[in-house]
Amino acid sequence: MNSKTRTNEQLDDELVSRVQQGDKKAYDLLVIKYQHKIIQLVNRYLKDPSEAQDVAQETFIKAYKAIGSFRGESAFYTWLYRIAINTAKNYLLSRVRRNTNAELDIDDAEAIENAPQLQGLETPERLLVNQDIVETIQATIDALPEEMRTAIMLREFDGLSYEEIAIAMDCPVGTVRSRIFRAREAINSQLTPLLEHGDFR
Amino acid sequence: MNNTLHQKISQFLDNDLADPEALELLQAIHSDNALNQTYQQYAIISQVIKTGDYIPVKPDFAAQISARIEQEPYHFNPSLKKSAPSRYRWYAVAASVLALSVLVVHYDKQLTPTSHQASMLSMSKPAPPLTNKTASQLAQNQSQKPLNKRINDYLQAHNNSVYTSGETNTAASLTSVTSYNQK
């Protein structure tokens, strides 16, 4: 476990402790922190972004109701992750039951997960917006100065820490921090007009 | 100012922000819509680079959860405070056991008061003048009768009037009591 992971878990522990003592606003911060991860995780099962958000919301509500029993034996995200997986699997089963009226148990969710005919279907319009956004981001990354492109790709694609990137690029950590930030700002400036005309943003 | 906060968002997404700063930033994101939007978009960029896919997040995703949570009753037992009640619970168990043992001893005394009284009587009072007949009868029945019965018989046979009339030698009786005690 590196120092950054420890930092992350300490912040989670602090927020969970506050929630357990009745601070509901602290839970809002945990939702903000993990919403994207949980939506992506659930979407891997449901293959439907709209349903994935509903199930992700259910996940957070379930986690809130159960947070009194969270003892910190695992990291908060690990605990939340398990709730998300179970909620997604149960949702898949209920969706299949609605369609087939078949008798199924939770183990069947693994098989359903890989059955394309049972997965949610995206609308052509959504697929188009999705494709547009992905292409814009990729085009902007390609147009970035090399040191910025390398820094952000090493971080996002290869998952290296700032320290590791600094060693790989032979520059100070502060420079890495700055290059990654500037890369994000450049991509964001191209992304904003697209998202403002999208369904959700 | 915005640039600084945006850079902090960038660092936060990469786990490069210390706890107090991260907490401060999350609070700022929570209360500032523009900052929240930047955070969401940075997260989208991250997601697209990693997965090559874009999954939109409703702008009010967190707000909807927050609204539902507001309706939830607060019924948690804070885990941090769990240890204190459990310690008190052990104290309560220990106190209960102690109280129970006191009651048992007390009850036991009530059940067999005569044996105690008998020994007290024999030690504190002088040996009564018994007739030969009475003494032999008591000795005969001693092993057969229950203790209560034996004490009752003893007390009935004991003639208190000898002390008030001065017919008995109290010093001699005390001597015999002392020797009994030593024995």
Domain boundaries, chain A: 3-118, 124-196
Residue A121 has pLDDT above 70, yes or no: no
Q: How many C-alpha atoms does A57 have within 13 Å on its Cβ side?
A: 18
| Tokens found for residue A58 | 């259910």
Query: How many beta carbons lie within 10 A of that of residue A6, not counting itself?
Result: 12
pLDDT score at B142: 57
Give the B window 56-75 contacts with A, CB below 8 Å.
Answer: 56-59, 61-62, 64-66, 68-70, 72, 74-75
Q: Which of A4-13, A88-97, A159-168, A178-187 has the lowest mean pLDDT?
A: A4-13
pLDDT score at A147: 96
Residue B128 has pLDDT above 70, yes or no: no
**Number of Cβ pairs closer than 8 Å across A and B?**
167
Residue A81 has pLDDT above 50, yes or no: yes
Contact B128/B158 with Cβ under 8 angstroms? Answer: yes
Is the entire prediction scored with pTM above 0.95? no
| A8, A10, A29: best to mutate for the B interface, most B CBs within 10 A | A29
| Tokens found for residue A94 | 């209920």
Contact B64 A10 (CB under 8 A): no
Residue A79 has pLDDT above 80, yes or no: yes
Tell me which residue range forms the domain holding B146.
126-182
CATH of A3-118, one of 1.10.1740.10, 3.30.465.10, 3.40.640.10, 3.30.70.20: 1.10.1740.10
- At B90, the pLDDT band (50, 70, 90 cuts) reads confident
Residue A30 has pLDDT above 80, yes or no: yes
Contact B48 A137 (CB under 8 A): yes
CA distance B42 to B10: 7
- At A1, the pLDDT band (50, 70, 90 cuts) reads very low
pLDDT above 70: percentage of residues in chain B: 57
Q: Which of A71-75, A157-161, B51-55, B130-134 has the lowest mean pLDDT?
A: B130-134
CATH of A124-196, one of 1.20.1250.20, 1.20.1630.10, 1.10.10.10, 3.20.20.80: 1.10.10.10
- Mean pLDDT, range B108-113, rounded to an integer: 65
Give the A window 46-65 contacts with B, CB below 8 Å.
Answer: 49, 52-53, 56-57, 60-61, 64-65
pLDDT score at A99: 73
In angstroms, what separates the C-alpha of A86 from chain B's closest C-alpha? 19
- At A41, the pLDDT band (50, 70, 90 cuts) reads very high
Residue B141 has pLDDT above 80, yes or no: no
- The answer to whether A191 contacts chain B (CB < 8 Å) is yes
- Mean pLDDT, range A136-144, rounded to an integer: 95
Contact A35 B57 (CB under 8 A): yes
More confident residue, A130 or A163: A163
Query: Angle formed by the axes of helices B19-31 and B33-51, to 10°?
Result: 110
Residue A119 has pLDDT above 50, yes or no: no
Per the structure, the count of domains in chain B is 2
CA proximity to A151, closest of B25, B49, B47: B49
pLDDT above 70: percentage of residues in chain A: 83
- The answer as to whether B89 is a domain residue is no
pLDDT score at B172: 54
Instruction: State residue A48 phi and psi, 5-degree precision.
Output: -150, 105
- Mean pLDDT, range A89-110, rounded to an integer: 74
pLDDT above 90: percentage of residues in chain B: 30
Choosing from B62, B87, B110, the residue where a domain stops is: B62
